[in-house]
Structure 1
Amino acid sequence: MDSPSSAEYWSEVETWPRDRIAEFQLAALRRQLAYVGANSAYYKAAWAGIGFEPGDLRSLDDLRSLPVVRKADYVADLAERGPWGSMLAVHPEDVARVHFSSGTTSSPAPVCWTRQDLDRWADLYARFAYSQGVRRTDVYQALFGFAWFVGGLGVTAAYTKIGCTVIPGGSGDTERQIDVMARYGTTAVSGTPSFMLHLAETAERLGRPVTGNRVRRIQVGGEPGGGIPETRALIEERWDAKVFDGYGSLEFQPIAWECERQAGGHFAEDFVYAEVVDAGTGAPVPDGSPGVLVLTHLDKQASPFVRWWTGDVVVRDPDPCACGRTHGRLRGGVLGRADDMLVVRGVNFFPSSVESLVRSTPGATGEYLIVIDEDVVDRATGYLTGVKVRLETEDGAAESAVDRLAHAIRAELTVRAVVEPVPSGSLARSTHKAKRLVREI
């Protein structure tokens, strides 16, 4: 839809009562499962193997009788039935767009869209950007990548739909990005948290601090930083702008974005059905408790996924937002990846917990790496005995920053910390997704 600039909400769907949302989801799931069962050879065979028919779905809870599908299942199917795989639910001639995974752990995996899927994607992104206060009078600069990465084209289509003046900049040419912002009066941008900090740092070095430009809204995604209060505060301070966290994945575009209240990303519950489950048992966890997010499309045509195991640990908040929107929210954004969780002598934590402490350490630049090496691994068992942080520090502040961070990690995470200072500017900056955890053993 094309929402008038004076409207408070992009769509009335955003304020539906909870009972109407549940009623809509059940009807949409029934239609979607019937479509998937008829058109996806993968799901048709998988469901036949457990004796499930789409018509068996009588309640939302019945969906839990179906197995989860993981990235490894998708990759294996592509390897056996490539190049499109048997999950594809349309003829390849009807595929209008293909985006690929990064291919860091396997061959790049394609995810497909029909023209209707693309329209839906753009409208949902536009809904979320609109909820952040973006209007057709804004000049928007897209700082997400365009080469292979899924984010850049999505946001460009969305802000175009709102009616903004759109500048598809991409995630390179840092100095040129800064010049364009100043020259053309950019008011809204989106990019990864690490790139936003890199841009601010570069602009400061050039004597053209970004606090002097017109950017007032920054939508971040691709990394957990937007959901970490300390990282959000750092970006807001360096840009003098509001930061909004956004969450999506290659398979699900989008999932949840924050509104102007910055109180956790709103699910698009008319597009995805979200479950939060125990990582070990797969059983649902109560709202307000952490668990792995499992998603099901409600109206995707080309590459529909049913009970997709995202691997992302989240906390679902069912309470309506102060903005008036009623869809569930992600409290604190994505807490981490279930497979990235670190266990040190029985204490579980995510790398993002370390980031929040680094960002609030005086004398630290904010750049860091978590390093797994012989200093924190027991040679006999292979278990972690502590956490090692390679910390970039400001000139003359190494000793105090190291002491402060080591103490904070011990106090907040209750684990031993080995903090190794490195000079300011020595750690690589990322223009895409920053890698914060490295293994050197």
Structure 2
Amino acid sequence: MLSGAPITAAPLHLDPAERWDRARLEAFQLAQLRVQLARLARDSAYYAPLFRQLDWNVGELRSLADLSKLPFTTKPDYINTIGPQAPFGKFMTVPQDEVRRMHFSSGTTSAPSPQFWSEHDLDRWAGLYARHARAQDIGRGDIVQCMFSYTWFVGGLGATAGYQRAGAMVIPAGSQDTERQIDTLFTYGSTVLCGTPSFITHLAEEVRKRGRDPATSTVRRIMMGGEPGASIPATRRRIEALWGARAYDAYGCLEFQPIAGDCTAQAGPHLAEDFAYAEVVDAETGAAVADGTPGVLVLTHLDKQAGPLVRWWTGDIVVRDATPCSCGRTHARLTGGVRGRADDMLVVRGVNVFPSAVEELVRATPGLGDEYQLVINASVHDAAGFMKSIHVRVEQIDTSADAARLAAQLVQEIKQRLQVGAHVEVLPQGTLARSTHKAKRVIRE
């Protein structure tokens, strides 16, 4: 859409900010950034000395492009400010007695690191989650069974607050106790499920094992996040067929809650561009890439109070599309959702391969189940140590099919679609570990 072009009448569930044209949206972002960066230059124990060291001041921010003059903030930058004498680190920018919530990272690659929310931040978080819920036609009259974890993890409480604000009844079910999950959704008539794609799929398998068809349940909407899947066409189709429900993608991380959410058009999650300024950059050079080109998502808070971040390197590979959506929203979309992690990208004879691309092919192959693993071991490397192929482990759900034929079919699809060689290991159903949280797809042996 051309800058300043009129926006057509939008549905009532759109927030006014969701239909601003690009000129108005970018003017808002620039004004918010100036206020935010001026506050950080004054109040942040991390950014204030960094800005002085760089001899940079907010007056230099004359356009959104000028933000690229500042360095990225990375996870190690954050973690390195935390220690025994400073357990909160240096990124908290309000007095401690104004912090109302603290969540932690998973701690899988380092010690768990905290992130903070003020009263304002919690209100904003709930409002944005409610916005995404309404965009998926979830609200008053719905019963939402929230199967994100509530223990330490950031997802469950945020989803609960957002769905409540959208007018739904919420069951804070968590991500354990499959038997009770099934009993609850059939007893109380849950109309919405939210959780990771792997757990949503696992739950459908368990329903079927108990002689029931998940598609006969009252579930009509499924919101998924925490891992790629809901924006992968084959995964979405399979989950929608299993449950007889529409499936939507949502995206967030500990540091930015939430980042993006699907609308009913299912054309890619919409960024919350009035909450965070988004850049997409080359994973190697850090330079901005054009819309339609894969790159790492980099985010800057526009109005976060308790723990704002500047040019946060998410490590997530995305493709941005800033053209308006058929739903009436003008905020940019992430087509295909999160394609993968920059550190999970495999380079095979010069070809970039993401787990999500392999997932699309696995789940589009009749006879194969939903679970898969990409195995990195000596067999996939040549004598010089470079990857020459990929090794994929899958499960066979059609016991009447020939396993060798299934393997050959997937090898051929990978070769044709991804342009790399593959070895496919077909295993009996139930062999690969299931996950109730985030599935681990890349296995290093």
In the alignment, structure 1 segments of 5+ residues that lack a partner are 1-5
Q: Paired residue for 2:135?
A: 131
1:423 aligns with 2:428: yes
- Distance across 2 between alignment mates of 1:415 and 1:264: 27
Deviations 1:39-75 (A, max 9, x none): 1110001111110112321211111110001111111
- Distance across 1 between alignment mates of 2:61 and 2:84: 30
1:222 aligns with 2:226: yes
Instruction: Give the superposition deviation at 1:10.
Output: 4.4
Q: Paired residue for 2:243?
A: 239
Instruction: Give the superposition deviation at 1:80.
Output: 7.6
- Distance across 2 between alignment mates of 1:7 and 1:332: 24
Q: 1:385 aligns with which of 381, 384, 388?
A: 388
**Is the CA contact 2:299–2:314 (under 8 Å) kept in the aligned structure 1?**
yes
Q: Paired residue for 1:403?
A: 408
Supply the AA of the counterpart residue of 2:98: D
Listed as ranges, the matches of 1:95-110 within 5 Å are 95-110=99-114
Instruction: Give the superposition deviation at 1:37.
Output: 1.5
Count of equivalent residues:
434
Supply the AA of the counterpart residue of 1:34: A
- Distance across 2 between alignment mates of 1:172 and 1:209: 21
Residues 18 and 316 of structure 1: CA distance in aligned 2, closer, same or farther (over 3 Å): same
Q: Paired residue for 1:414?
A: 419
Q: Paired residue for 1:143?
A: 147
Q: 2:348 aligns with which of 325, 344, 347?
A: 344
- Distance across 2 between alignment mates of 1:184 and 1:433: 27
Instruction: Give the superposition deviation at 1:300.
Output: 0.3
Instruction: Give the superposition deviation at 1:93.
Output: 1.9
Structure 1 window deviating more from structure 2 (42-51 vs 71-80): it is: 71-80
SS of the residue corresponding to residue 313 of structure 1 reads strand
- Distance across 2 between alignment mates of 1:81 and 1:38: 23
Listed as ranges, the matches of 1:37-436 within 5 Å are 37-79=41-83, 82-378=86-382, 380-394=383-397, 395-397=399-401, 398-436=403-441
In the alignment, structure 2 segments of 5+ residues that lack a partner are 1-9
Residues 200 and 373 of structure 1: CA distance in aligned 2, closer, same or farther (over 3 Å): same
**Is the CA contact 1:90–1:302 (under 8 Å) kept in the aligned structure 2?**
yes
**Is the CA contact 1:363–1:400 (under 8 Å) kept in the aligned structure 2?**
no
- Distance across 2 between alignment mates of 1:339 and 1:365: 26
- Distance across 2 between alignment mates of 1:315 and 1:373: 30
**Is the CA contact 2:11–2:328 (under 8 Å) kept in the aligned structure 1?**
no
Deviations 1:193-232 (A, max 9, x none): 0001000000000012211111111010011111110001
Residues 338 and 371 of structure 1: CA distance in aligned 2, closer, same or farther (over 3 Å): same
Deviations 1:351-390 (A, max 9, x none): 1111111001121112111111122122x32211110011
Supply the AA of the counterpart residue of 1:435: K
**Is the CA contact 2:201–2:370 (under 8 Å) kept in the aligned structure 1?**
no
Q: 1:437 aligns with which of 433, 442, 445?
A: 442
- Distance across 2 between alignment mates of 1:242 and 1:386: 35
Deviations 1:105-155 (A, max 9, x none): 110010110111001000000001101001211111101110111100000
Deviations 1:149-168 (A, max 9, x none): 11000000011111211111
Supply the AA of the counterpart residue of 2:26: A
Supply the AA of the counterpart residue of 1:320: P
- Distance across 2 between alignment mates of 1:423 and 1:105: 31
Supply the AA of the counterpart residue of 1:277: V
Query: What fraction of aligned residue pairs are identical, expressed as a percent?
Result: 56
Supply the AA of the counterpart residue of 2:391: K
SS of the residue corresponding to residue 265 of structure 2 reads coil
